[in-house]
A and B are shown apart, each in its own frame.
Chain A
Amino acid sequence: MEGLKVSEADLLVYLHPSKSKNVSQAIYNELSSMLFKYNETFDGVLLAYSASTNDELAKILPGLHPCFGVRLKAQLLLFDPKPNMILEGKVVKLGAQSIHVVVLGFSSATIIDEDIREEFDYKVKHGKELFASSVNKRHKIEIETVVRFVVKSFDEETLHLSGSLLQPNTGNVNWLDKYAEEDLVESNTKKRRDYQTADHSKRTTDDDRFKKSKKHKSSHS
C-alpha cells in the first residue's frame, strides 16, 4: 500500500496565554485538532503524531492576545494518496453499480462500475452480492474483502477517494498475494525456460565475443 509517509517536522505552535498552565496538553490539543484533516502545509492528512519540545523558552508575540510560540520537533504520520497510487481497503458495500471501500478505517472510496475491469462480473450467490472474475474462478470480491485498487482522484476536503480496478494488479488482496504470485512465478519460470532455449545461441555468441574481447585486451597487455 502506498500513500503513507512519515515526516519530520519543525513546528511552531502558537498558544493562547490561558493555556500556559499546561503547555504540553495544549500542544497535544492543538495537534489533535488537525487529525484526520487534510493539511496543505503537511501535504497530507495527519493520522498520528509524536511531538517533543526541545526548548523551554517560548517566544511571546506582541498583540492584543500575547500568544506564545512553542517550538516543536514532531514526527507526523501522513496519508497523501496521489492518482495512480495503489491503496488497500475493506469493502463495506457492494452493488451492481459500485463498490464502496473504507481505507485505513476513515477514508471512504468508491469504485464505480465503469472503473471495474471487464473480467469482473456482478453476481448474487446465495443472497450475497459479489464480483467474481471470469478469468480466475477463485478471484472474488465480496463484502469484508480487502481490495487493492488504483487511486483515480482524492478529494482533500472530504477525504473521499475514487478508485479503479482496471489494472491487472488490482483486486482481492488475498488472492493477489497468494495465487497471483503463484501464477506469476509459474509464468515467469515458463517464460524463462522459453527465453533460455530460444536465446541460447545468441547468448553464447555474446559470451564468445566477451571472451574474445578479453583475450584481445589481455593480448594487448
Chain B
Amino acid sequence: MGAVGDDIGDVSDYELTHHVRQALKSVFEGDTDEYDQLIGNMHHTERLVPDEVAMLVTILRALSGAVSFIDIVHHRSLLSSICAMRFWNYGPDVMDALMELVVTLATSNGKYVDLCLDMLVSNFIPPFNFLEILKQPRGLAKKDQVLARVHAALKGIADLVPLAPSRLEQIVRERVPNVYAKEAQIVVYVENMLMLESGDMGEFVGNSMIFELMNRLIDLDVEIGWDEVLMDDPNNKGIFLMELEDLARTDETEMDMDEPQIEYTGRKVLWGNVVAQKLDTLMELAFDHLQSCFKNGRLPQVFEALLQSFQSTVLNAYKSKFAQFVMFYACSLDPEDCGTQFVSRLLEIFKSTVYPQDWRMSAVAYLASYLSRAKFLSTSYVTIILESLVDWCYKYSKNQSGEINLKNHRVFYAACQALMYVLCFRMRSILATPRLKSQLVNMPLEKIFKHALNPLEVCLPSIVEEFLRQAKAAHLFTVSYGAFLFEHLFESELSRAFGGFQRLDVFFPFDPYLLKKSDRFIRPNFIYWSMVRTTYDDDEDDDDDDDDDDVEDDEFDMNLSKMSITPKDSFMFGNLQDRKMQMPSRIRPSTSPESL
C-alpha cells in the first residue's frame, strides 16, 4: 500500500468521518475547498493505482458515516457524482464501499430512495465497453460480482425502507431498454428483472417483473411483421399453404431464392432478423427461468402472474407470433395445474359475454391451437374440453335461426373452426379409444355443422376440407357426405370476408415455433402436423411416427417425407391441387429467423 494508504492507516474511522462531516458542513458557509477535493477524488475511474483505490474506498466509507450531513441542494454535485459511479468500473473493494454508501444514503432520508434505486438499476446494464466481453469468462465473472452487489444493495434498502420495492418496481419498468437497444443490453437487463423476480423481493416486485417481461416479448414480437407481401396478394389464401416444419428444414440457400423474399429490401430483412434474434434470446431466458421456477416449486405462483399478463397483453395483441409460447412452455412443465388453469381461463373468456368478441375469438383460437399442439395433453382431457365447446356451439345454434351472418355470429364461427381444427389433429386418437369414441359420436356435431348458420361455408376452407376428409374416413357422420359438399369451397367469398387477413380465422397461436435457440424447449412437447395420424392414413406408417421426444433432424426429415401432406415445392404459392391437401400450419412472419 502506498503513502496515502499509510496515512489513512493512522487516522481512525471516527476522525475520518469527522473530517468529511466538516467538509460537508463548510459548504453551507461557502467554503468548498475540501468538499471539491473530495469530489475530485471520486472522479478517477480509469485504471486506478492501489493508492487511488485505497483513497476512494476511504472516502466512500467516510461518506457513509456522514450521510446525514448531505444536503440535497447544497451537495448536489456530490450526489450526482455518487450516482454517476458505475460498479462495473471498479474492483471488489470499491464496489463494497459504494454499495454500503448507497444503502446508507438511501435510508438516511426519504428523498434519496429514488435516487439510489435509480443508480442501482442503471447498473443493471454494463457500460458499452463491457458489452463485448460480457460473454467471455472475464466478463461473466465481473457480471456476477457486480450484480450480486447491486441486488444485495437493493435488498438492503428494501429491508430498511419497506416501501422501496414499490418504487423499485416503477423504476425498473421505466428503465427497461426499448426494442432498439443492443441485444446484450436487453438480455442483461431482463436477467436482472428475473433475478429480482426470483429473489427475496420477488414477493413484492415479482408479478410486475413477469408483466414487464411479457410486455417486452410482445413489443419485440410485433416488431417482426407478418409477411406483408403475402397479405397484399389478392390470392391471399396462399398464406395458408406453408407447412413450416418443412420450411424450417429447407436450407438457407433455398430460402433466399424464394419469391417473396426478393420483395424485401435488405434493410427490412435485417431489422426483422435482429429483432428475432433478440426475441429468441429473451424467450430462452424466460423458458430457463420458468424451468428453474418449476424446480423450486414456484411455478404455480409465477404462472398466476403469467396468466394475468397473458390475458391483458398477449391475448389481445394482434396475432402475436412467439410470446404466447411462454404460456405453452409453462403448461408443458405442469399440465395438471398450469395447463388446466390456462384452459379454464380460455374457456371462461370464450364463454363469457363480458369480454369483447375479438377477445373471445382469440381465446377460442388459443384453446384450439393449444389442444391440438400440446403433446402432453391426454386424449380424454381433450375430449372433455371438446365436449364443452360442442355443447356451447350446440346451444348457441339452437337459439339461432337466421342465415349466415358473419358479423353477428363471429364467435360461433370461430368456435366451429376451433372444433374442426382440434378434430383434425385428434380425431384418430379419440376414435382409437372406445369410450372416447362413443363420446365423440354422441356429440351433436352434425347438427352444428348443418345448421342454417352454415359454419362449414364460412370457416377456413383448408380446415373444413381436412376435417371432412377425416370425418368421412372415420364415418363420423351418418348422413351422406354429399350434404357437406360446397361447390365454391375454395373461392368462398364468405370465408374470406369472415376473417380475411383482418382477424382470427387464420390465427393459430401455437403453430410451429420458429425461433432457433429457444426451439429446444418447445420441440419435445409439440405436435407437428407431420406427426399427426389422420383417420385416412395408412396403418403402415403408424410405427414410424411414435412420437419420440427430440426427434433428430434426419429422422424428422424422413418422417416428413413419409407423412407430409405438403408437397415440397409448394411452400408459398402452391397450385390449387396442393392446397387442398394441406393444413394451415403457420402464417409466415416476414422474416423468419431461418433466414438468419
Contacts and interface: CB of A to CB of B under 8 A. Distances in A.
Given A108-B160, A113-B68, A159-B163, 9 more contacts: A21-B354, A96-B14, A96-B65, A100-B107, A106-B163, A108-B163, A110-B107, A157-B110, A158-B113
A160 interface: yes
Contact of B111 (A107, A112, A158): A158
Contacts of B161: 108, 160
Contact of A162 (B109, B114, B163, B166): B109
Given A112-B68, A114-B68, A158-B113, A102 B354 contact: no
A160 B110 contact: yes
B107 A93 contact: yes
Interface string B356-400: 000000000000000000000000000000000000000000000
B108 interface: yes
Contacts of A36: 163, 166
Interface in A133-175: 155, 157-160, 162
A93 B163 contact: no
A105 interface: yes
A72 to B, nearest CB: 25
B17 interface: yes
A108 B162 contact: yes
A106 B162 contact: yes
B159 interface: yes
B110 A97 contact: no
Given A108-B161, A158-B113, A159-B163, A97 B68 contact: yes
A105 B160 CA distance: 10
A51 to B, nearest CB: 23
Contact of B110 (A93, A105, A112, A159): A159
Contacts of A113: 68
29 contacts: A36-B163, A92-B160, A93-B107, A93-B159, A93-B160, A96-B65, A97-B64, A97-B65, A97-B67, A98-B67, A100-B107, A100-B160, A102-B160, A102-B162, A107-B162, A108-B160, A108-B162, A110-B68, A110-B107, A112-B68, A112-B108, A113-B68, A114-B68, A155-B110, A157-B110, A158-B113, A160-B109, A160-B161, A162-B109
A114 B113 CA distance: 22
Contact of B108 (A21, A110, A157): A110
Contact of B109 (A93, A97, A110): A110
Name the interface size band of chain A: 20 to 34
Contacts of A157: 110
Interface in B93-135: 104, 107-111, 113-114
Nearest 7 Cβ contacts at the A-B interface: A160-B110, A158-B110, A112-B68, A155-B110, A108-B161, A106-B162, A100-B160
B111 to A, nearest CB: 7
B44 to A, nearest CB: 26
Contacts of B111: 155, 158, 160
A93 B107 CA distance: 10
Contacts of B66: 97
Contacts of A98: 67-68, 104, 108
A114 B25 CA distance: 14
Nearest to B160: A100
Contacts of B68: 97-98, 110, 112-114
A92 B156 CA distance: 10
Name the interface size band of chain B: 20 to 34
Contacts of B67: 97-98
Interface in A104-124: 105-108, 110, 112-114
Contacts of A96: 14, 65
B162 A97 contact: no
Nearest to B21: A97
A88 to B, nearest CB: 15
Contacts of B166: 36
Interface in B148-184: 159-163, 166
Nearest to A112: B68
A97 B66 CA distance: 8
Interface in A19-57: 21, 36
A108 B110 contact: yes
Given A97-B17, A155-B110, A159-B110, A92 B65 contact: no
Contacts of B17: 97
A100 B105 CA distance: 12
A162 B68 CA distance: 10
A162 B104 CA distance: 14
B155 to A, nearest CB: 12
Nearest to B66: A97
Contacts of B109: 110, 155, 160, 162
A83 to B, nearest CB: 15
B138 to A, nearest CB: 35
A110 B104 CA distance: 10
Given A102-B160, A158-B113, A108 B107 contact: yes
Contacts of B107: 93, 100, 108, 110
A112 B69 CA distance: 10
A96 B62 CA distance: 12
Nearest to B113: A158
Interface string A160-202: 1010000000000000000000000000000000000000000
A100 B103 CA distance: 12
Contacts of A95: 104
B497 to A, nearest CB: 30
Most buried by A among B65, B66, B67, B110: B110
Interface string B285-313: 00000000000000000000000000000
Nearest to B17: A97
A92 B166 CA distance: 19
A95 B162 CA distance: 19
